[in-house]
Amino acid sequence: MTDAGELPPEVRNLLSQQVRSIEELEALLRVRAEPTRSWSAAEVGTAVGVGADAAREALEELAANGLIAASNASPLTFHYAPREPKLAAVVDLLAEAYATHRVEVLVLISKSAMSRVRRGALRTFSEAFRLRGPKKDG
């Protein structure tokens, strides 16, 4: 890790593109802590202090981003399985950063989330004023 207030660029990139909420961060680190275990959404939710639905959404996003894997079994479970070793190394850096620079990690996630909300609001606002031709009958 670099200076106290700096997160490695790989961690910043991971947080802005693949781990986009505190729920996702906490779920990823919980599953990573026991990589051989398969977790249900309810178990992860209990472990990180969120509801099962919020945990499931976070886990599904993490799986879609290649950070964990989902089982094909019923009930659905998840386990730590980054799609490539380089990604696992960045998650290790993230875990270290979260342990030593928790505030910086949380601030970065919050800023990224606010930026996504603003972009979405601007897009919605601009679409409201988009000029469209007259409606066609039938």
DSSP secondary structure letters along the chain: --STT---HHHHHHHHHT--SHHHHHHHHHHHHSTT--B-HHHHHHHHTS-HHHHHHHHHHHHHTTSEEE-SSSS--EEE--SSHHHHHHHHHHHHHHHH-HHHHHHHHHHHHHHHHHHHHHHHHHHHT---PPPPP-
**What's the topology of domain 9-128?**
Arc Repressor Mutant, subunit A (1.10.10)
CA count, 13 A, side-chain hemisphere, 16: 11
Ordered by start, the domain boundaries in the chain are 9-128
Quick one: pLDDT at residue 118? 52
Task: Please report, for residues 2, 14, 122, the alpha-carbon distance to residue 33 in angstroms, rounded to integers and kept in the order given.
Answer: 24, 18, 39
Q: Phi and psi for 79 in degrees, rounded to 5?
A: -145, 160
Distance CA 41, CA 60 (A): 9
Residue 67: what pLDDT? 97
Distance CA 119, CA 113 (A): 10
pLDDT in tens, the chain (138 residues): 444 458 999 999 999 889 989 999 999 999 999 999 999 999 999 999 999 999 999 999 999 999 999 998 888 999 999 999 999 999 999 999 999 999 999 998 887 655 555 555 556 656 666 666 566 665
The pLDDT value given to residue 4? 41
Contacts 24+ apart (CB under 8 A), 129-138: none
pLDDT at 110: 82
What local confidence, expressed as pLDDT, does residue 111 receive? 76
**pLDDT value of position 61:** 95
pLDDT of residue 46: 97
Q: Which pLDDT does position 62 carry in this prediction?
A: 97
Q: Are 70 and 77 in contact (CB under 8 A)?
A: yes
